[in-house]
Amino acid sequence: MRAATVLRKDVDVLWPDVVRRAVKLGADREIVGVYPRRSDLPRSLFGDLIGRAGTRLWFGGYTSYFVWLEAAGAPAILGAKADAGADVRFLLGDPASVVTAERERVEATPLTLSTRIAMSRAEIAKSPSALPVRLSDRHIAMSVWIFDDEAVVATHIGAGLGQDSVTLHLRRRGAGGLFDRYTEHFEALWADAAPADRVDLAT
């Protein structure tokens, strides 16, 4: 900075490669953190995100089972936020789908996807206010959780469980970035998903 001042040149003109390495200028500026596994996220992150969010809390995990383990008192908190006007939604996997059954075969774990989905629905039902739940099998390989202008995105790897997914923590910086693309993804899935109560009635 001192050299640039003496030379009366911008730092990014004199040392563009250094600036690019030190400062995020492109699409990656929305990336707060990258984690090889979802289990590498700070344990308090989901609780913090739920606590901070005031307008939008969208849960687009196939089971979102781990949320109840990491965010103490989440059903009551989410219910209160919904009562205060927040848009709270849950997009869960369809336990009756052949896609779910095939993934359960691949994962081969006693705590099946269907069981984890049922456990999430039981936790959601504890909310003092009804929270909308829709079911889909289109997000089996990628989960998206959105809290106001922050998001967590987990991309599933091979036969691993959700906790093994490569995970991004994003924060919106402007229109058309990574955050907006994943928000559009969630909205498209939500629009196409079946309300859980209708599925329950059909079965």
Helix (H, G, I), strand (E, B), or coil: what is residue 160? coil
pLDDT at 27: 72
| pTM, full prediction | 0.84
List Cβ neighbours of 163 (8 Å cut-off, separation of 6 or more).
Answer: 37, 38, 39, 66
pLDDT at 200: 59
Helix (H, G, I), strand (E, B), or coil: what is residue 1? coil
170 strand-pairing partners: 31, 151
Stretch (H or E) spanning 198: helix 196-202
Q: Distance of CA 10 to CAs 4, 19, 29, 202, Å?
A: 6, 11, 21, 65
Distance, CA of 62 to chain centre: 10
The radius of gyration of the chain's CA atoms, rounded to the nearest angstrom, is: 20
pLDDT at 163: 86
How would you write the pLDDT of the chain (203 residues) with one tens digit per residue? 677 677 766 655 666 666 555 555 567 889 999 999 999 999 899 999 999 999 999 999 999 999 999 899 999 999 999 999 999 999 999 999 999 999 999 989 999 999 999 999 999 999 999 999 999 999 999 999 999 999 999 999 888 888 889 999 999 999 999 999 999 999 999 999 999 985 554 44
pLDDT at 201: 47
Do 200 and 49 touch, CB atoms closer than 8 A? Answer: no
